[in-house]
């Protein structure tokens, strides 16, 4: 009985992690998409990372 509870707890924990990972990744648009470019245009340029600035130049300006 104790082993079954341990296994159930581990499975529930793994499912929770997978659910959260899926929820977080689904929230952000794909880099280079029109939505991503628009989101970055609204974000203050001082808050951009170096990668965001490079990707913006590659995908949104060219």
- Is residue 55 over pLDDT 70? yes
Label residue 34 exposed, middle or buried (CB < 10 Å: 0-12, 13-18, 19+): exposed
pTM: 0.56
CA-angle at 19, arms to 43 and 32, nearest 5°: 35
Q: What is the pLDDT of residue 12?
A: 75
Cβ neighbours, 10 Å, residue 21 = 10
Top pLDDT among 19 and 57 is at 57
Q: What is the pLDDT of residues 1-51, one digit of tens each?
A: 787 878 888 887 877 776 665 666 668 899 999 999 999 999 999 999 999
């Amino acid at each position: 009985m104790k082993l079954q509870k341990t296994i159930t707890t581990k499975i529930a924990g793994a499912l929770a992690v997978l659910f959260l990972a899926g929820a977080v990744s689904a929230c952000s648009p794909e880099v280079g998409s029109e939505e991503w470019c628009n989101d970055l245009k609204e974000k203050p340029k001082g808050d951009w990372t170096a990668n965001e600035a490079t990707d913006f130049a590659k995908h949104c300006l060219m």
